[in-house]
Homo-oligomer: A and B are copies of this chain.
Amino acid sequence: MHDRPDLTPLFEPRTIAFIGASKDIFKWGFNVLHHIIKRGFSGEIYPINPSGSDWFGRKMYASLDEIEMPIDLAVIVVKDTLVLETVRHCVLKNIPAGIIITAGFSETGPAGARLEREIADVARAGGMRLIGPNTMGVFSAYPSIMHALMGSMPLTPGSVGLIAQSGNLGTSISYRFLRRKIGISRLISTGNEADLSSEDILEYLENDEKTSIICMYLEGLRQPRRFFDAARRISPKKPLVLIKGGRTDRGAVAAMSHTGAVAGSDEIFSSMCRQSGIIQVDTMDEMVDIVGMLMQPRPKGNRVAIITLGGGWGVVATDACITEGLSVEPLEEPLIEKLDRILPAYWSRGNPLDLVAPARVSVITDTITELMEHAKTDAVFLMGLGYMSFRARGWLKSNTIPAEAAKEFSQIMISEERKLFELVVEMILRYNRPIIPVIDLMAFDIAMEGNPVQFLDDHGVMPYPCPDRAVHALAKVVAYRNRISSLVNEQG
- The smallest C-beta distance from A313 to any residue of chain B, in angstroms, reads 5
**Interface presence of A430 (CB below 8 A):** no
Asked if residues A245 and B166 are in contact (CB atoms below 8 Å), the reply is no
**Interface presence of A9 (CB below 8 A):** no
Interfacial chain B residues near A309, Cβ < 8 Å = 168
Asked if residues A251 and B346 are in contact (CB atoms below 8 Å), the reply is no
Asked if residues A401 and B445 are in contact (CB atoms below 8 Å), the reply is no
Interfacial chain B residues near A390, Cβ < 8 Å = 152
Interfacial chain B residues near A258, Cβ < 8 Å = 311-312, 314-315, 348, 354
Asked if residues B398 and A38 are in contact (CB atoms below 8 Å), the reply is yes
From B26, B175, B249, B283, contact of A440 by CB (8 A): B175
Contact pattern, A 306-340, Cβ under 8 Å of B = 1, otherwise 0: 00011111111011011100001000000000000
Interfacial chain B residues near A400, Cβ < 8 Å = 34, 37-38, 56
From B152, B248, B394, contact of A323 by CB (8 A): B248
Interfacial chain B residues near A222, Cβ < 8 Å = none
Asked if residues B248 and A179 are in contact (CB atoms below 8 Å), the reply is no
Interfacial chain B residues near A387, Cβ < 8 Å = 151
Q: How far is the CA of A267 from the CA of B402 in the complex (A)?
A: 54
From B38, B253, B319, contact of A350 by CB (8 A): B253
Q: How far is the CA of A13 from the CA of B314 in the complex (A)?
A: 34
From B165, B179, B254, B413, contact of A348 by CB (8 A): B254
**Interface presence of A113 (CB below 8 A):** no
- The smallest C-beta distance from A154 to any residue of chain B, in angstroms, reads 9
Asked if residues B315 and A246 are in contact (CB atoms below 8 Å), the reply is yes
- The smallest C-beta distance from A217 to any residue of chain B, in angstroms, reads 7
**Interface presence of A342 (CB below 8 A):** no
Asked if residues B440 and A172 are in contact (CB atoms below 8 Å), the reply is yes
Interfacial chain B residues near A153, Cβ < 8 Å = 442
Asked if residues A245 and B312 are in contact (CB atoms below 8 Å), the reply is yes
Asked if residues B254 and A314 are in contact (CB atoms below 8 Å), the reply is yes
Asked if residues A405 and B217 are in contact (CB atoms below 8 Å), the reply is no
Interface of A, helix, strand, loop or mixed by DSSP? helix
Interfacial chain B residues near A284, Cβ < 8 Å = 466
Asked if residues A315 and B245 are in contact (CB atoms below 8 Å), the reply is yes
Asked if residues A441 and B315 are in contact (CB atoms below 8 Å), the reply is no
Q: How far is the CA of A356 from the CA of B80 in the complex (A)?
A: 15
A interface size (C-beta, 8 A): 88
From B312, B348, B395, B442, contact of A169 by CB (8 A): B312
**Interface presence of A243 (CB below 8 A):** yes
**Interface presence of A424 (CB below 8 A):** no
Contact pattern, A 436-448, Cβ under 8 Å of B = 1, otherwise 0: 0000111001000
**Interface presence of A197 (CB below 8 A):** no
**Interface presence of A25 (CB below 8 A):** yes
In the complex formed, the residue of B with least CB distance to A168 is B310
Asked if residues A25 and B395 are in contact (CB atoms below 8 Å), the reply is yes
Asked if residues A25 and B409 are in contact (CB atoms below 8 Å), the reply is yes
A311 touching B259 in the complex, CB below 8 Å, given contacts A284-B466, A400-B37, A442-B175: yes
Q: How far is the CA of A151 from the CA of B283 in the complex (A)?
A: 32
Contact pattern, A 207-220, Cβ under 8 Å of B = 1, otherwise 0: 00000000001010
Supply 11 further A-B pairs (C-beta < 8 A) apart from A166-B312, A167-B310, A255-B315: A25-B405, A26-B413, A56-B401, A104-B346, A166-B311, A169-B312, A176-B441, A250-B321, A251-B315, A254-B314, A283-B468
Q: Can you name 23 A-B residue pairings with CB atoms under 8 Å?
A: A26-B413, A38-B400, A103-B346, A107-B346, A152-B394, A153-B442, A166-B311, A166-B313, A167-B310, A167-B312, A168-B384, A172-B466, A176-B441, A246-B315, A246-B319, A250-B321, A251-B316, A255-B315, A257-B350, A257-B354, A258-B312, A282-B468, A285-B466
* Closest 9 A/B residue pairs (Cβ): A166-B312, A168-B310, A258-B311, A251-B319, A248-B322, A169-B312, A245-B315, A251-B318, A152-B394
- Tell me the A residues contacting B by CB distance below 8 Å: 25-26, 31, 34, 37-38, 56, 103-104, 107-108, 151-153, 164-172, 175-176, 179, 217, 219, 243, 245-251, 253-255, 257-259, 282-285, 309-316, 318-319, 321-323, 328, 345-346, 348-350, 352, 354, 356, 384, 387, 390-391, 394-395, 398, 400-402, 405-406, 409, 413, 440-442, 445, 466, 468
